[in-house]
Amino acid sequence: MDAKFENEGLEYPWSDEPESVLRDLLDSSLLGVTYISDGAIRYLNSTAERMLGMTASQALGMTIEDAIRWIHVEDREQISTRYREAGPDVLSQDAHVVFRWSRPDGVVRWFKVQTIGASFLGRPAIRAVMVDVTEQYETLEKLRRSEERYRQMVEASPSGILVHVDERVVLANRAAVRLFRGRTEADVVGKRILDYIAPCYHALVRQRVERIYGGEDCVPVVELVFRTLAGESFWVEASASSVEHEGRPASMVVFRDITQRKKALSEKEHLEAQLLQSQKLEAVGRLAGGVAHDFNNLLTEICGQSELVLMDLPPEDPHFSMMQAVGEAAQRASALTRQLLAFSRKQVMLPRLMQLNEVVSGLERMLSRLIGEDIEFQVALSPAAGQVMVDPGQLEQVILNLCVNARDAMPGGGKLLVTTGVEVPDERAASRLSLENGGRYAVLSVVDTGCGMTPEVQARLFEPFFTTKPQEQGTGLGLSTSYGIVRQHLGAIDVRSLPGRGSVFRVFLPQADGPAQESMMRGDEVDANGGGETILCVEDEPLVREVTVTMLRRLGYRVLEAEHPNRAIDLVRAHSGRIDLLVTDVIMPQMNGRELAECLRRDRPELAVLYTSGYTEDVIANQGLLASDVRFLGKPFTLKSLSAAVKGALKLAPEASSMPPCNGRQDGT
């Protein structure tokens, strides 16, 4: 008899078929078959033995409670509960259950079991038919775990991820919810994808969506402006690819916030523009500085000689107007050189502590006449503007240039307001204007109601020779000159303008402390006649020396002239009388003007000094001649400006002091 029966000698109870045929049929089946009666296993076929990992002798007679202990611990409770709760109709029930079985050899297998009421040896029983579904469930488990890992990756991704079907969002990860300023995924899903995109990009997005639904696997990365649930804009870098969602074609959008990168790029472009502007300044500065010295010497001679000739010609002389034209042309050439040097920040600057309001007030009457009656002109000065360290003449030039520019922007009349105040730029403003962060700045504002400017014009506003005026009405150097002067004073010009809505120019100048100083005397306020003082003129350019000496003598001074420093030293030693003033070029062979002055003052400590030069500021600064107590006259100069400079220098004559005499020459240095 078969060992699969609990008691030997029992026959197969369900058929009269020969025993061997039925045994072969059951044992060759792919299904495991088990009969359970009276709470214990009464029969199992060979397939069931292999599936359970037990022999018939081990399994037969095992109670249901003992068998449940071999079920995987995670599935055990549900099987126990089902067995306990089985009612009296269990024999007529067709039930299915899936669980994991832990075989004695440690292998865990998934079984799908169908139970149905039956009879065994005439007693009620349960027939359990088992199918090994381990491969299927392991595949499903791997898929479930893969999906879970995918879900976790999607949720943990720092990039926002949206999935949309027919352009309607069906999935959003945590990053997307955060970027759209939502609280949960439910706040984001359900809306159209275009609801999250700035309208100007809708056409581009529709084209990309059509490509995805048209069969393309993915579309290239593009930069867009997204909008939050509250309508706030932010820049993103987004890509899209084709996916499936619940069996339907879908598009997955992966994006990340690049707002900060765009801001940094904008700042980088601003800095590059500043660098380009600086390079332009340097190029113009090199050009202007390279020709300034020789050009200014020539202009000094032309201006001086024309003035001297005009002094000797009666106005009715036919050559009088011609010489006037020569002088005026030389003055215009001189002004052009100064503008180029100012733009390139190479102009010689003599700064003084000044009240900003005083400088503006001193120009108010002139500005009223200059602007005209068809423009309403107002000045509002704040005491908080305080003091600035400026060259008053150059600052006046900036104010005049800005006001003239405002006037020209209002050909049909308008309003012009000049104000002063104080401001501490924040970090962003200081960076944009290249100012010291946290510094206090006096602010001069020029506001007009004129035609305004386009962004393209504003981008080129301070370029030399750039102008929107007709050729005969502007040189394009007014604003560029103002820009150079302000930058030279460690300040900045901020411009705000819209077409048709006027312009605001704000000049930032560092506030300074200390007692205010009087500005240099204007030439038209100085007596042009000298008092017979003796002046030593040292100039290595013969033509410039000749015209300077002639002009000084015309002004009523006695003049000694020398073509180089060593000759000047010899003249001073040989001269027994008093020498009141040394007028010397700064850059000369043998020794420079400062060294010559120091040498001569050892023998004549009371000697006043007036320096002249056609060189640019960086050259003069190297000579140590930009202190506020140094008298300096830039070339080219006129008779009037020479007179004023000489008068000012004589007033600053030093007191006598004991210094070692100047003995040695410096030939060839």
In the structure, what pLDDT confidence band is assigned to residue 215 with cuts at 50, 70 and 90?
confident
* Residue finishing a domain among 136, 167, 183: 136
Give mean pLDDT, residues 130-149. 81
When mean pLDDT is compared across 49-63, 198-212, 236-250, 280-294, the lowest value belongs to: 280-294
Give mean pLDDT, residues 94-108. 87
Q: Is the dihedral of CA 228, 231, 237, 238 positive or negative?
A: positive
Taking all residues of the chain, what is their mean pLDDT, rounded to a whole number?
Answer: 80
Residue 229 lies in a domain: yes
Same domain for 61 and 129: yes
**SS3 string of 536-560?**
EEECCCHHHHHHHHHHHHHCCCEEE
Find where tokens 């020398």 sit. Answer: 562
pLDDT of the residue at 664:
45
In the structure, what pLDDT confidence band is assigned to residue 350 with cuts at 50, 70 and 90?
low
Contacting residues for 80 by C-beta, under 8 A, at least 6 apart: 68
Same domain for 443 and 392: yes
Same domain for 606 and 467: no
The enclosing domain of 90 has a CATH number of: 3.30.450.20
The pLDDT of residue 579 is above 70: yes
Same domain for 281 and 252: no
Q: pLDDT digit string (tens) for 371-381?
A: 878 889 899 99
Residue 8 lies in a domain: no
When mean pLDDT is compared across 281-295, 407-421, 568-582, the lowest value belongs to: 281-295
How far is residue 557's CA from residue 645's CA, in Å, rounded to a whole number?
Answer: 14
pLDDT of the residue at 522:
36
Residue 148 lies in a domain: no
In the structure, what pLDDT confidence band is assigned to residue 91 with cuts at 50, 70 and 90?
very low
Give mean pLDDT, residues 496-513. 89
Same domain for 245 and 179: yes
The enclosing domain of 318 has a CATH number of: 1.10.287.130
Residue 319 lies in domain: 277-343
Q: Name the pairing type of β-strands 218-227 and 32-37.
A: unpaired
Q: pLDDT digit string (tens) for 224-244?
A: 999 999 999 999 999 999 888
pLDDT of the residue at 666:
45
Give mean pLDDT, residues 413-436. 87
* Residue finishing a domain among 106, 136, 166: 136
Q: pLDDT digit string (tens) for 628-660?
A: 456 788 788 888 888 888 988 888 766 544 444
Residue 505 lies in a domain: yes
pTM (2 d.p.) = 0.42
Residue 36 lies in a domain: yes
pLDDT of the residue at 624:
45
Classified as helix, coil or strand, 562 is: strand
When mean pLDDT is compared across 153-162, 418-427, 569-578, the lowest value belongs to: 153-162
User: For the chain, how many structural domains are there in total?
Assistant: 5
Query: In the chain, pLDDT over 70 holds for what percent of residues?
Result: 80
Give mean pLDDT, residues 132-158. 77
Same domain for 176 and 120: no
Classified as helix, coil or strand, 502 is: coil
The pLDDT of residue 408 is above 80: yes
Higher pLDDT, 95 or 637: 637
Contacting residues for 206 by C-beta, under 8 A, at least 6 apart: 194
Highest mean pLDDT among 115-119, 251-255, 640-644: 251-255
Contacting residues for 651 by C-beta, under 8 A, at least 6 apart: none
Asked if residues 464 and 480 have their Cβ atoms less than 8 Å apart, the reply is yes
When mean pLDDT is compared across 229-243, 303-317, 419-433, 619-633, the lowest value belongs to: 619-633
Query: In the chain, pLDDT over 90 holds for what percent of residues?
Result: 18
Same domain for 358 and 505: yes
pLDDT of the residue at 644:
87
pLDDT of the residue at 216:
84
Same domain for 502 and 375: yes
Residue 496 lies in a domain: yes
Contacting residues for 474 by C-beta, under 8 A, at least 6 apart: 408, 467
* Residue finishing a domain among 308, 324, 343: 343
Residue 264 lies in a domain: no
Same domain for 230 and 177: yes
Residue 6 lies in a domain: no
The pLDDT of residue 618 is above 70: no
pLDDT of the residue at 625:
45
Same domain for 317 and 367: no
In the structure, what pLDDT confidence band is assigned to residue 665 with cuts at 50, 70 and 90?
very low
Give mean pLDDT, residues 333-352. 62
Same domain for 206 and 281: no
Same domain for 368 and 446: yes
Amino acid at 321: S
Strand order across the beta sheet in which 534-538 lies: 558-562, 534-538, 581-585, 608-613, 632-634
The pLDDT of residue 468 is above 50: yes
The enclosing domain of 573 has a CATH number of: 3.40.50.2300
